[in-house]
Every structure is written in C-alpha cells, then in structure tokens.
Structure 1
Amino acid sequence: MTSRFTELTVDCQDPEGLAAFWCKVLGFEVIDRSEGKVEIGSWVPTVEEVRARQMPPTLLFVRVPEGRTAKNRLHLDVSPVDGSTEDEVARLLGLGATRTDVGQGAGRSWVVMADPEGNEFCVLRTLAPQNRSVS
C-alpha cells in the first residue's frame, strides 16, 4: 500500500491573491475554487492518472483566520528554466515577492524570497541552457 503526494496546502489570508501570484510564478492555472479555497496546477488531476503514477502535485490555498507567526518549516524551491537566476529574481520582485533573510548568510547560490503573504521560498540555480563558446 502506498500514498501519493497530490497537493501542498498553504494557509493564507487571501487565497485568490496568493493563487494569482503563484500562477504567474509557476505558469500554473486555477483548476478549482470554492468558498475560501483556490487550487492551482500544471494539469487537472484525475483519479485514474494519480492512481497510475506519481504526478506533479497541485497547490491549494486555503483561507484561515490567523496570520503567519513564524518562519516556515516547509518552503518551495523554484528554478528558472529560460533565464538567469538574477533575471528571475527581478521578475518575481515585479510580481510582488520580496527578498528576505532567514539567516542564510551571504554568498549563497540561491536567493531567499517571500511571497506577498510572507511565505518564504528559494530561487535556485537556473536550468536554462548555457551558451558555451567553442574555441
């Protein structure tokens, strides 16, 4: 017997706003919404596909009455796929993210940021093809 990782739930104050932010970050779409909940993903899950194999999880944003009180113990890592890490950080800042310090120190290969509700996430190295000149 096994289970599948099907979704990651994020408690938040504004599910619609946070879902919109993360859709722009990840290129996801809203796949379901109900009162106080918005689910986004890169695909629309079906029971048959999930039972057959592990599929990419969705993100579910759920409204809760309390605000965030401490550093996240779980966070997302994102990797740019078609530009540099610096370019992606600039794009995310334009979407409403902020740089944040969680004690990571200087000179790291990743950048710690926070979404509009203060949830930390990291921007890792780029996965974009590197131009290499042949000498």
Structure 2
Amino acid sequence: MAVPFKICIDCTDPHRLADFWAAAMDYVVEDHSALIAMLLEQGVVTEEHTVEVHGRKGWKTAAAVRDPEAPFDPVRGTGKGMRLLFQVVPEPKTVKNRLHLDLHYGPDNYEAEADRLESLGATRLGAYDEDGAKWILMADPEGNEFCCHA
C-alpha cells in the first residue's frame, strides 16, 4: 500500500501562507474549527493554542490547505488527499529550498498566472527556457521558492 503524505512548510505566518497557496493552487484552506471546539471543550487544548482567522478558530501555529476535490474528514477538517501544512518555526528562512513545488499552468497561462501570483504576494526570481521547457522561478510571501511552469 502506498504511504499517504502531506508536504510541510516551515514559516512564520501559517495563515498568510495558507491563504496564498490556496489561491495559487485553487485549493481550500482547511477549517479546523470543529476539531478545535471539541478539544477546547475536552480541555485538551486552551485558547492560547488558537487564533481567530476569517471569523473562525484556527491553530495559532499551523494552517493547511487541501485539494477541494479530495475526500476530507468533516470532524477534523483535514483533507485525506494532497495537502500542504504550514507550521511555525522560530527561525526565518535563510538558504535556498532543497525541495520546491512546480505549479503547471500550461503554455498559454503560465505568464498570466505568474502575474496573478505576484498580485497575491509572490516575487519573480527569474524566467527560464531550457530545451523547450519554460518556467518562471518565484518565491512565496515568505521567500519559499517555487516554479510557475508552462
């Protein structure tokens, strides 16, 4: 059986990155408010672990986005398919990523999508055309590199 996984991204502001990546990928930000309410009621977590985001309770140190077409757990609010989890770490990003995402928008859309991503807070780092492959190297609002592919 294949091993399920999610990609975890270290950051300083998980909710800002969740909003950015949800918009970049047509994903949805996971709603963990029902799980948080249940854990608060049971005394497992305290209000110190939460923050209000978009009018509902979220985790103070984490947020996630998921494929809206994939199954999800309605109690936990977590996706059962491809997910990105953003988790707070104490140190800022200091070197180039050793792992990055490639977003494939297609040859007719990738330049317009790069413009849209810039309007969401991304930064263009370079454009490439190698052996027929075209892409724009970009960074998300916290400097994590990714590629916008043709």
Structure 1: unaligned runs, 5 residues or longer? 47-54, 126-135
Counterpart in the other structure of 1:49: none
Q: 1:66, CA displacement in angstroms?
A: 0.4
Q: Deviations over 1:61-87 (max 9, x none)?
A: 001110001100000000116952111
TM-score scaled by length of structure 2:
0.67
Q: 1:44, CA displacement in angstroms?
A: 4.5
Q: Is structure 2 residue 46 aligned with structure 1 residue 21? A: no
How many residues align structurally?
113
Structure 2: unaligned runs, 5 residues or longer? 33-57, 74-79
Identity %: 38
Counterpart in the other structure of 2:135: 110
Matches of 1:28 and 1:82 in 2, distance apart?
21
CA RMSD, aligned part only? Answer: 2.2
Q: How does 1:81-96 map to 2 (within 5 A)?
A: 84-96=109-121
Q: Deviations over 1:23-57 (max 9, x none)?
A: 111111122342311011013535xxxxxxxx742
Counterpart in the other structure of 2:6: 7
Q: How does 1:27-42 map to 2 (within 5 A)?
A: 27-31=26-30, 32=32, 33-42=58-67
More strand by share: 2
Q: What one-letter code is carried by the residue in structure 1 that aligns with 2:142?
A: E
Counterpart in the other structure of 1:45: 72
Counterpart in the other structure of 1:50: none
